[in-house]
Amino acid sequence: MAHFVTAQLRKPASDSLLILRYFDVPPPHDGFYRAGLRALDAAARARHNQPFTALADADAEALVVDMGADRIENWAAGTENAPPASFFYFVVRADAIDVAYGTPEGFARIGVPYMAHIEPDVNW
């Protein structure tokens, strides 16, 4: 996922495959992802005294569930320009789904015929 997002952020916004380009978020989009990740990490530290990457799986999952439901108090505290928690969750989840299932192989894993209008140049 990180490699996909990084590669897409290097492209002109009009060529990016990130879902954020379809919303009213002006480019460049790297600030959106940075601010959201900083807010998520700050929430993990506030709740568990650890960075998000050090959390146990159950704690990380609970935090992400709460992020998606806007149940994290002071989500953007001390984080400049952080997007709303549920919007950040939606965007990152959509990008992750695209990486995992947005290819012919991904469609096959879930048993759905791949019928792209335009075949992608690169599989992720």
Domain of residue 64, residue span: 30-109
Residue 80: pLDDT band with limits 50, 70, 90: confident
Q: What is the pLDDT of residue 120?
A: 65
Token pair, residue 109, equals 């894993």
Number of domains in the chain: 1
**Does residue 73 belong to any structural domain of this protein?**
yes
Residue 49 lies in a domain: yes
Q: Is the distance from CB of 95 to CB of 1 less than 8 angstroms?
A: yes
Specify if 1 maps to a domain: no
Residue 83 lies in a domain: yes
Instruction: Please indicate, yes or no, if residue 115 is contained in any of the structural domains.
Output: no
For residue 102, is it within any domain?
Answer: yes
In a domain, 114, yes or no: no
Confidence of residue 122 (pLDDT cuts 50, 70, 90): low
18 occurs within a structural domain:
no
pLDDT of residue 90 exceeding 70, the answer is: yes
Six-digit token string for 72: 């994290």
Rounded Cα distance between 42 and 78, Å, is 8
Per-residue pLDDT, 117: 72
